[in-house]
Every structure is written in C-alpha cells, then in structure tokens.
Amino acid sequence: MHKSQIKYLKSLRKEKNELILKMEEYAEKNNVPILDWKSAEFLESLVQAFRPQNVLEIGTAIAYSSIRIARSLGKNDSIDTIEKSNDNIVLALKNIEESSFGDKINVIKGDALDIIPNLENNYDLIFLDADKEDYEKLFDYSLKKLNRDGVIFIDNLLWKGYAASDDVPDKYRNSTEAIRNFNNYFLENEQLFSTILPIGDGIGFGVKQ
C-alpha cells in the first residue's frame, strides 16, 4: 500500500479514545512494537464479528491490543495475556488500570513457551505477537488450546517487508528466516483454513476446522 493511501486512511480514523491514542504515541516515540493501527482495527472487527468468550494474547507489551480487544468483548468475556518483560508488565498494568477494562484483562507473567501448555482454559480467539524465532513452537502450543471454529490472528508475517525481500540487514536475518519458514508452516497446516493478509505488517488469519 502506498504511503499516500495509508495517510488517507489514517485521516479517516474515528478513534477518539485518549488512552489508545496516548499508547500509540508512546510506542512510536519509544520504539515499542505494538500492533499497527490498521491491524488493530481489523482485530477489533474480528472480535465483534466472532464474539469470542475467551481470548489468549501472546505478547502483551504495553497492553495496547489487550485493551482494544477488551473493549470489543461481551460483558462476561475475558482475555488472558502473557508477557515476560518486567518493564512491559509495569506499563501494561498502568495502562489497564487507566482503562475501564481491568476486570476483563488477566496479565500472566512469564515465558509463553512455558505457560501455554499449562493453561487450563481453551480459547475462541488467540492473538500471537511474540518473538519471531519462537513462532512455530508458540503456534503449535496455541493450536492445541484453540477451540474448533476458533480464530488465530498472527502479526508481523511480512516482517517489515523483509520476508519478501532479497536485501535483509544482518540483524534481521535470523528473524526473517524464521518468519519465512513459519509462513509456509502456517499455510500448510491442515487443521486450519488460513491466509496471510497484506494489512499492517502482514496478518496471519486462520480458522480451526
């Protein structure tokens, strides 16, 4: 998508929530990787359309997407969100407290690779946005926790454009290779109807059969 098109779409945004806008500004200024606003709007639309009762988020960061998901959930629905960075958890809890959705969001501290296999719940929607080199294992663990007809939503599958580029900086080579391998792995999984959409940084979307 051309920059002029993105600028035009951004001018049409109707987002007025001060906390959401403040988190976007903070993330941009401090180089915090949060979900692109276009992807976040698509994710919220999915939540409103599919009406999941239980959501799992892998990678809380500052709780930007947690809060956006929570505000689209039904009255008795909830989200578990996993984060291993202490600094991120401090900011996430502060933002959640400032929002009106603290009763819907449960922050779980630790490494998702250790936590997911031991979760008691199954989920209607799982959002994966964590370390790229762990995507394949996290995806496998997540799929076991995803209910039939449940949705999995995965960010960064174009990985800053490097997934489709021959010119990859050295510091991104390992993560880019991991994403390329994962994209094939994701699309070939027979348990899912899946696709990759050119929204934001590339969204993987799958429905469990």
Using the predicted structure, report yes or no on whether residue 15 has a pLDDT greater than 80. Answer: yes
The CATH homologous superfamily of the domain defined by 3-208: Vaccinia Virus protein VP39 (3.40.50.150)
> Which pLDDT does position 138 carry in this prediction?
99
> Which pLDDT does position 3 carry in this prediction?
76
The mean predicted confidence, pLDDT, of the chain is 96
Using the predicted structure, report yes or no on whether residue 47 has a pLDDT greater than 80. Answer: yes
Reference 182, options 128, 126, 139, 131; nearest CA is 139
Using the predicted structure, report yes or no on whether residue 1 has a pLDDT greater than 80. Answer: no
> Which pLDDT does position 2 carry in this prediction?
73
| Domain segments of the chain as ranges | 3-208
> Which pLDDT does position 134 carry in this prediction?
98
Confidence of residue 5 (pLDDT cuts 50, 70, 90): confident
Confidence of residue 16 (pLDDT cuts 50, 70, 90): confident
Put simply, whether the predicted model's pTM sits higher than 0.85 gets the answer yes
Using the predicted structure, report yes or no on whether residue 8 has a pLDDT greater than 90. Answer: no
Residue pair 151/205 in contact (Cβ under 8 Å)? The answer is yes
- The residue ranking higher by pLDDT, 1 or 168, is 168
Q: pLDDT (tens digit, 9 = 90+) per residue, 67-96?
A: 999 999 999 999 999 999 999 999 999 999
